[in-house]
Amino acid sequence: MAKQKGRKLLVKIKSATEYDVLCGLTTKTLTINNEEIDVTTADCEDPDNAMWSEVLDSVKRVSLSGNGISKKDDAEATLAEIAMSSPPVAELQIIVPNFGMFEAAFFVQSSEFGGEQTGGVTFSLSAASTGPVTFTREEAA
């Protein structure tokens, strides 16, 4: 897989009719978490044997965080409206270049705006999947 520029990792938020890129995000992190259940038991035939940890698949979660400079566009307005709604759930697409696309409903945990006197307005986003996440692998060119 060829190396890709970080700016090509896109986060899109669904508005009324389409997905709009949250273009102002300058840093983006997608995390896939898997919780495990420890089911380790002793060897009944020889309890003196070493025990090996055994785990079962449990809860899955995809989370997203990002920071950037506000562009005051429709995508940011959609994010703010969703963050203020109840429940604060946004339909998001996260596109990882040369890899694929993650798509799901995400619970918006926080949406922040800030600024320093001599800088631009910044914003940040923190969200976690609420339900199954669809992954579509990008086909090799």
Domain 9-39+52-137 has CATH 2.30.110.20: yes
Asked whether the predicted pLDDT for residue 1 surpasses 70, the reply is no
- Tokens 């339900």 belong to 131
Q: What angle do CA 129, 131, 137 make, to 5 degrees?
A: 75
Q: What is the pLDDT of residue 64?
A: 97
The pTM for the full model equals 0.85
3-state secondary structure of 93: strand
Asked whether 47 and 3 are in contact (CB, 8 A), the reply is: no
Mind listing the pLDDT tens digit for each residue in 109-131? 999 999 999 989 999 999 999 99
Amino acid 67: pLDDT: 95
* Cis amide linkage into residue 47, ω under 30° from 0: no
Mean pLDDT value across the chain: 92
